Amino acid sequence: MTGETVVVATSTDPASINIVDSLLSLAPWKGDGGPVHRLRDYSLVVFEGKLIHLEHLEASLGRIGLSPDLIVFASRHQAKDGVPRLCGHFSGNCGEALMGGRDRELSVAAPSALKSFILGLTEDPLEGFDITIEATHHGPTDLSIPSFFAEIGSSQEEWINPEAGKAVARSILNLRDQSFPAFVGFGGGHYATRQNRLMMETGIAFGHLFSKYQVEGLDLPIIQEAMRKSGAVAAYLDRKSLRSADRLKILGALEEIGLPAMREGEIREIYPLEDTAAPV
């Protein structure tokens, strides 16, 4: 990736430490006895406490001499279904902040970086693990530097799986310097199945994603913020998953802010897969 990438981890998360151990084992990082390890254009920092509560992170990084262009959070993913997953998402709250961050605030997304991370995981897929993007959720939300969460899920067994740690670490270290048209996504479940497939099968990336369960918290200001903080050129709606009233609300807001809504067929025609081989 162009510029510096900082991988942020925490000592209180077994998946985070698993990814850190894999990062350090895969390449000759250099440390000077301080909190920072360095490799090429990467820096690695381990904090204490939950990542979702790391407010004022940019100031904390600045105090140790780091001013990155991208932040990658190495984290666990927890889900009641227990399905093994390697996944990624952006942070933000479209409503009340129930898991860190501030109410109705979104972080700055890194659509092309997240696409690169997910595609990297699919190049040598780990048997038994789903690979997917997730809807935007939790903190931290006060970030002006583009960021995304790189996660191992969904239970303790996967969090400490060394092969899962290596898969995530490799994909982080192999992030590609490409830029794809970014879309904001609406509808579907938490794992945004249709959006995930579109991202993998076409030449677009997704910025902030909102599941059908989050639509109630959406209004014009938060949709406009999602567009701005995703650098979005268009939006995609999983229309079949949304109630008619919700579709109309979203489409009305998109029209008011001047963001076109494109259907799947249009996206596949205008942004075919072969275009992903070169930057846009």
Report pLDDT digits (tens) over 102-114. Answer: 999 999 999 999 9
157 to each of 97, 152, 225, how far by Cα in Å?
29, 10, 37
10 shares its domain with 27: yes
Whether omega before 60 lies within 30 degrees of 0, making that bond cis, reads: no
What digits encode the pLDDT tens for the residues 1-14?
458 999 999 999 99
pLDDT for residue 208: 98
**Among the three residues 173, 203, 237, which one is the final residue of a domain in this structure?**
173
40 shares its domain with 133: yes
What digits encode the pLDDT tens for the residues 235-280?
999 999 999 999 999 999 999 999 999 999 999 999 998 744 433 2
Percent of the chain with pLDDT over 70: 97
Residue bearing the bigger pLDDT, 31 or 134: 134
Question: Where residue 69 sits, what CATH number does that domain have?
Answer: 3.40.630.50
**Among the three residues 173, 194, 224, which one is the final residue of a domain in this structure?**
173
- Segment (H or E) for 37: strand 36-39
pLDDT for residue 276: 44
250 shares its domain with 273: yes
85 shares its domain with 107: yes
- Segment (H or E) for 61: helix 57-63
Q: Determine the structural domain holding residue 226 and report its residue range.
A: 182-277
Strand partners, 132: 87
136 shares its domain with 264: no
97 shares its domain with 146: yes
pLDDT for residue 275: 46
Is the confidence at residue 233, as pLDDT, over 60? yes
Could you tell me where the beta strands, DSSP code E, fall in 65-108? Answer: 70-78, 85-89, 92-93, 105-106
pLDDT for residue 32: 77
**Among the three residues 122, 138, 173, which one is the final residue of a domain in this structure?**
173
Q: For residue 108, count other CB atoms closer than 10 A to its CB.
A: 20
Are the C-beta atoms of residues 117 and 178 closer than 8 Å to each other?
no
pLDDT for residue 2: 56
Angle (deg, nearest 10), helices 111-123 and 162-173: 130
**Nearest by Cα to 95 from 43, 135, 45, 42:** 135
What digits encode the pLDDT tens for the residues 127-180?
999 999 999 999 999 999 999 999 999 999 999 999 999 999 999 999 999 999
**Domain tally for the chain?**
2
d(CA 21, CA 201): 32
What digits encode the pLDDT tens for the residues 66-115?
999 999 999 999 999 999 999 999 999 999 999 999 999 999 999 999 99
Question: Where residue 202 sits, what CATH number does that domain have?
Answer: 3.40.50.10700
d(CA 132, CA 111): 14
